[in-house]
Chain A
Amino acid sequence: MNLVIVLVEKTSSINKEIALRILESLLSLIKSSGAWVSVIFYGDRAVPVLDPSDNFSKELIELYESAPDLGKSPKIEEALGEALELVIEYSWKARAIRTSIIWSASVKPSRLADSLLEALEKAGPKVSVLALRTSLPGWIKHHQAIMARTKVLRPNANPFRVAESLLFES
């Protein structure tokens, strides 16, 4: 079974309306592709909300809308660590093919983030990051592994096309 892991930031720093539309498009595309999905919300902490499943519904969207913010600062390393734990746990059952990350890029990650991202890819899934901003912050150059996998959001971008590019572009 193919598995897509979706990491979506839930902090006061992210544009939740856009994040929600992209999350909705991602889930719809994953469902129609027949893949399984796992979803992790993250901020100061990372919280798994759905373990690998092919039976997911609009409740996930409602949960994202209603859940309290997980602080102000997105710790992408926390989310990557949780995703790595998931890949290790389910490696016997699922072939993780993609990890898609929705991120405000509002806070510089710790140095651990690049190592975790590379470890995650070595364990299987390709990682794509979407920064919900029109240009990347200057500090990203200190995080080469993240930078190489991050796309920015163009103004007026179609959320469905953005989700497609996160899932299918190499």
Chain B
Amino acid sequence: MLENKGVSFVIDISLSMGKPYGDLVPNKLTAVLEVVAFAGRRALERGASVGLVVFHENAVPILPLTRSYGDFVRALSVVTKTYEGSSLGDGLVWGVKILRQHRGPKVLIAITDGEITRGVPLSLALAFAKNSKVDTRILLIGSGTLQEVSQELVRRVQSRADLTKALEELLS
């Protein structure tokens, strides 16, 4: 059950996300946003709250936890461009921060194509998530790599169907 679960979506908006991959077209970012909008709606229908963080060379919290699908979609709609740099560690830290005041179970789902270039070391960001009792999962698009991360936390996705299925399972 997702009732009272806080779900923090952390999405990579680095330049490489502006390129297509398989059926993730016209580019990875647009496809990810479409799938996340659908997954967010399902999560909200099941009683969860959702929030949104994006990251490139910095992380930007876009939406604190909400139960409003309208707010969630509006937040996703402002994410239109990709930028230099990729700092997943910063994204994870902010993803945990927006869950700070949530009383129920906490889940963080990061979606990235890897190629981390800078920012907070992943080992520290993941320790912060663990100490904050945030169940953290990283969906890694394509063949990119992630150093310092336990493979238990990483799930590789190669297609739109993979991504949809992974989110469905994580949010079931």
Name A residues whose Cβ lies closer than 8 Å to a Cβ of B: 41, 45, 47-51, 53, 56, 63, 66-68, 70, 89
Name B residues whose Cβ lies closer than 8 Å to a Cβ of A: 89, 93, 97, 100-101, 119-121, 123-125, 127-128, 131-132
- Do B128 and A47 touch (CB < 8 A)? yes
- Do B93 and A89 touch (CB < 8 A)? no
User: 18 extra interchain contacts, Cβ-Cβ under 8 A, other than A51-B131, A66-B123?
Assistant: A45-B119, A47-B89, A48-B128, A49-B127, A49-B131, A50-B128, A50-B131, A51-B128, A53-B131, A67-B121, A67-B123, A67-B124, A67-B127, A68-B121, A68-B123, A68-B124, A89-B100, A89-B101
- Do A51 and B124 touch (CB < 8 A)? no
Please give me the residue from chain A that is nearest to B148 by CB atom: A68
- Do A47 and B123 touch (CB < 8 A)? no
Give the docked Cα–Cα distance between A132 and B169 (Å).
50
Residue among A47, A51, A56, A67 with the most chain B CB within 10 A?
A47
Q: Which residues of A lie under 8 Å from residue B123 when comparing CB positions? A: 66-68
User: Contacts A89-B100, A89-B101; is A49 near B128 (CB within 8 Å)?
Assistant: yes
Give, as a whole number of angstroms, the nearest-CB distance from A88 to chain B: 11
Give, as a whole number of angstroms, the nearest-CB distance from A84 to chain B: 14
- Do B121 and A51 touch (CB < 8 A)? no
- Do B131 and A47 touch (CB < 8 A)? no
Q: Which residues of B lie under 8 Å from residue A49 when comparing CB positions? A: 124, 127-128, 131
Q: Which 4 A-B pairs have the closest CB atoms?
A: A68-B121, A50-B131, A47-B124, A47-B120
- Do B131 and A45 touch (CB < 8 A)? no
- Do B125 and A47 touch (CB < 8 A)? yes
Q: Which residues of A lie under 8 Å from residue B100 when comparing CB positions? A: 51, 89
Please give me the residue from chain B that is nearest to A50 by CB atom: B131
Please give me the residue from chain B that is nearest to A45 by CB atom: B120
Give the docked Cα–Cα distance between A9 and B141 (Å).
35
Give, as a whole number of angstroms, the nearest-CB distance from B16 to chain A: 23
Give the docked Cα–Cα distance between A45 and B89 (Å).
12
Give the docked Cα–Cα distance between A63 and B89 (Å).
16
Please give me the residue from chain B that is nearest to A39 by CB atom: B131
Give the docked Cα–Cα distance between A50 and B125 (Å).
10
Give the docked Cα–Cα distance between A86 and B119 (Å).
20
Q: Which residues of B lie under 8 Å from residue A48 when comparing CB positions? A: 93, 97, 128
